[in-house]
Structure 1
Amino acid sequence: MEKKISYYNNFSKSKFSKLTIQERFEKIYNENSWESNESRSGIGSEIKNTKEVLRAINQIIKQYNIKSIIDIPCGDFNWMSSLDMKNINYKGFDIVNSAIEENNKNFKKTNINFYCSDITSSELTKGDLMFVRDCLVHFSYEDIKKSIFRIKQSKSKYLMSTSFVNLEKNIDIYSAGWRPVNLEKEPFNFPKPLITFNEKCNEMDGIYADKSICLWEIEKLPDLS
């Protein structure tokens, strides 16, 4: 039987059946249910697990002349705060109010701002790069499709998002759980990415070694609405 991250089985439909999607993620964040001593956004947001992602973003910024980044969900900004943003207009969005309040208190600058937003239902701000890491893996098929609709609606140029590129078949879950997602497989059928960066993920003894951050042109994404 495949090993899974320790919180995988804790987030059942019954536990969250009476909560809105915002209430679910606020509960998880405020109770540190993702079990990281460094970041309440989870172990995937620890500095040691994001070095390759930072390299990838820096490459994309230079290669595609990125001047504005929309980061959703931004979480607690633990690792993203290491990115050189002196020439970037950065807007971080998250569904968790307390995360946004803390980020604006600790990190807000003229070119760095944070806002509360639900990617499944809110109109998203336009940017050169829409960065959506470790987000869709927590959503049901329905909420992933809603998110992609909002991303396309924003008219942003590029999307960087998490994809487990060797996964053969996706499964559906109740939003607030977790499982790997391959965006190139059914029912999403994304085109081949412009660039794929392997994150060199060694969590859970390397069973998710195919975890990647991929770049797509948003206008070429399929219509999933």
Structure 2
Amino acid sequence: MIDGQEGEMARTVSGRVIVRMQGVGGKAAPAEQDERLFVAIASYRDPECQWTVRDLFLKAARPERIFVGICWQSVPEEDKDCFEIPSPRPDQTRSVSFHVSQSEGVGWARAQAHKLWRGEEYVLNIDSHMRFAENWDERMIAQLKSCKAPKPVLSTYPPGYVPPDKLNPPTLPLICAGYFDEAGVLINKSRAIQPQDAPSEPMPSMLYAAGFVFASSRMLADVPYDPLVYFQGEEISMAVRLWTHGWDIFSPNEALIYHAYVKFTERKTHWVDNRDWPKLNSRSRSRVAHLIGSKKTQDAGALADIDAFGLGKARSLDDYQRLSGIDFLAKTISVSASEGRFPLAIYDGAREARRALQVERWSKNADGNFETHAGAGSTLAATRALRVWLKETLARLGVRSIVDAGCGDAGWISCLVENLDLYVGVDIVEDLIADNARVYQASRPMLFKSGDISRDLLPKADLILCRDTLTHLDNADIEAALRLFRQSGASYLLATHYPKADPDDAPAGGERKIDLAANSLLQAQPVDIFLDGPAKGKTLSLWRLND
């Protein structure tokens, strides 16, 4: 093909000539000039890969902005037929080659291909046996931009093709939750929507198909591919990692790429070529099951470097399970998940910004306190009088359970829980919650849960403690939190309160003085007050919520 040729163009794929007419294929509006695409391919002894590379360049609306990175795994003297057809654009095709004896599985191979990325704005992960729709690049970018999420990912099992180039009907497969294998790893399945029933925009999903993944290349740094994932488990591992890092998966609403599902060669697979594959596979499945919480392991090999390839902090695994309808520990799948019907995770920018701010504050330990990152007001010395007063108050009220809304590291309050039936600490910083659970849960009646007190309903308890937390929120979020406190069924609220504080006293990004008595959701005045200095006018005040 001659670059820039107008009108009718011909290409040869596996010996067959295909006529391509300019403008065919539902060409989308031109993308921005600097929007380059990096196509990552892991190829294991696959003669189809060369045709895949050829097809993706020839079918692109703007092939000049596409760059390919291939991890070749082959036996050079036996696999010469894998390298017969040169790339139409050799200067835009990068590769790294390994003998099959060096290969460690699909996760490792995809990670090698990703090392060939050179700053392109988008990344497309595909298998080595694919075909493409006309103008696939511009249409794919347009679909990604139409997704209603700040960090979208397009992923699905593409419709099939039979080599050399017989494309199946352009159905729209949806990824569905299939079953849990004996290792506790979720295995996907799929169902198809007919083209005439296609929705007007990409469909929300919470599952991942490794053979077709398209996103901003920020994904490569945010969620790097785990080289220790051998094969099975790759997809659910990436699904939960992406989601907990704040990425939302969508199924495309038009067919842009095709996959060869039929066996078209007698070439050996990795598990035939490599004698150590059972060990690699077992380690990988244990690793994935541990990650998703379906089956924990102490195997050091399975847990190697797992923190570098673990879950994110933007959203929790519990929230993934709740929203998806997939319970990893119980190994149950909801009807909607089995049918590939998933809700759109509504992006809450204010929540994300607040969480990021608290994570930064917590990690930096701005006060430089050796006892607690929660600030000088949360040391044992600073809370000595408070602990005496609070112990007496809880006994007087008959309080047997507390929800601590904004618990921090729960250091000072942990001294009081021996007289309680239950303490539940809630905080927006997930790492902090994990630390608290590790330190306290085994020896005390203390549970911990990540959450945003202005967005998430709290567990029911006798009393909600909210010390130095509402003071970091704006009026709308304070109102939302107070409504949730009432909805929880708690009898009492004990919260930081500055009587007659100036409502405009709110330094940007910092703590402010708030007069809770001015809020219509509470009684005009608290029923009890503790002077919680040293700040002038600061109190910890008690309200009845069930009046």
Q: SS of 1:184's equivalent?
A: helix
Q: State the AA in 2 paired with 1:83.
A: L
Which position in structure 1 is the counterpart of 2:465? 131
C-alpha deviation, 1:169, in angstroms = 2.1
Q: Does 1:192 align with 2:519?
A: no
Query: Partners in 1 of 2:420 and 2:387 — Cα distance?
Result: 16
Residue deviations 1:77-106 (CA, integer Å, cap 9, x gap): 121122142443111111111111110111
Matches within 5 A, 1:92-107: 92-107=425-440
Are the equivalent residues in 1 in contact too, given 2:483–2:521 (CA < 8 A)?
A: no
**AA paired with 1:219?**
N
**SS of corresponding position for 2:374:** coil
Q: 1:66 to 1:188 in 2, by over 3 A?
A: closer
1:162-187 CA-to-partner distances (Å, cap 9, x unmatched) read 1122x442226478421111212368
The one-character-per-residue Cα deviations of 1:190-221 (angstroms, maximum 9, x if unpaired) are 4211111112x23xxxxx2321111111134x
Equivalences, count? 198
Distance 1:153 1:198 in 2: 28
Alpha-carbon separation, structure 1, partners of 2:508 and 2:492: 25
Residues 134 and 116 (structure 1 numbering): CA distance in 2 closer, same or farther, change over 3 Å? same
Which residue does the alignment assign to 1:216?
543
Provide the secondary structure at the position in 2 that maps to 1:47: coil
TM-score w.r.t. the length of structure 1 is: 0.79
Q: Give 1:33's aligned residue.
A: 366
Q: Distance in 1 between matches of 2:520 and 2:396?
A: 30
Sequence identity (%): 25
Which protein has greater RCO, CA pairs closer than 8 Å, 6+ apart? 1
Larger proportion of strand:
2
Does the residue aligned with 1:104 lie in a helix, a strand or coil?
Answer: helix
Deviation of residue 188 (structure 1)? 7.0
- Quick check: 1:25–1:176 contact (8 Å CA) kept in 2? no
What's the counterpart of residue 451 of structure 2? 117
Task: Give yes or no for contact 2:505–2:513 (8 Å, CA) kept in 1.
Answer: no
Distance 1:168 1:99, change over 3 A: closer
Whichever residue aligns with residue 52 of structure 1, its letter is: A
* Residue of structure 2 in register with 1:53 after alignment: 386
**Equivalent-residue separation in structure 2 for 1:83 and 1:72 (angstroms):** 16
In 2, Cα distance between the equivalents of 1:128 and 1:61?
A: 10
Instruction: Name the structure 2 match of 1:157.
Output: 491
2:512 alignment counterpart: 179
* Contact 2:358/2:428 (8 A) holds in 1: yes
Other-structure match for 1:144:
478
Change (3 A) 1:170 1:18: closer
Residues 128, 158 of structure 1: 8 Å contact kept: yes
Deviation at 1:35, TM superposition (A): 4.3
Say whether the 8 Å CA contact 1:138–1:175 is kept in structure 2: no
* Structure 1 unaligned residues grouped into runs of 5+: 1-15, 203-207, 221-225
Secondary structure of the corresponding residue to residue 381 of structure 2: helix
CA gap 1:61/1:100 in 2 versus in 1, 3 angstroms = same
Secondary structure, in 3 states, of the residue corresponding to 1:169?
Answer: coil
Residues 80 and 175 (structure 1 numbering): CA distance in 2 closer, same or farther, change over 3 Å? farther
Letter matched to residue 142 of structure 1: A
Mean alpha-carbon deviation: is it higher for 32-41 or for 51-60?
Answer: 32-41
1:106-161 deviations in Å (ceiling 9; x for gaps): 11146211111110100111100110110111111111111111111111110000
* SS of 1:216 mapped into structure 2: strand
Q: 2:496 touches 2:539 (CA, 8 Å); kept in 1?
A: yes
Aligned to 2:357: 24
When the two chains are superposed, the root-mean-square deviation of aligned CA atoms in Å is: 2.4
Distance 2:486 2:356 in 1: 25
CA distance in 1, matches of 2:537, 2:396: 24
Query: What amino acid maps onto 1:68 in structure 2?
Result: S
Distance (Å, rounded) in 1 between the aligned partners of 2:471 and 2:393: 23
The answer to whether the 8 A contact 2:403-2:464 is kept is yes
Give unmatched runs, 5+ long, in structure 2: 1-348
Deviates more, 1:76-85 or 1:90-99: 76-85
Q: Secondary structure at the match of 1:74?
A: coil
Q: Distance in 1 between matches of 2:350 and 2:446?
A: 35
Question: How far, CA to CA, are the matches of 1:36 and 1:192 in structure 2?
Answer: 35
CA contact (8 A) 1:129 1:159 kept: yes
Contact 1:91 1:112 (C-alpha < 8 Å) held by counterparts: yes
TM-score after normalising by structure 2: 0.34
Structure of larger gyration radius: 2
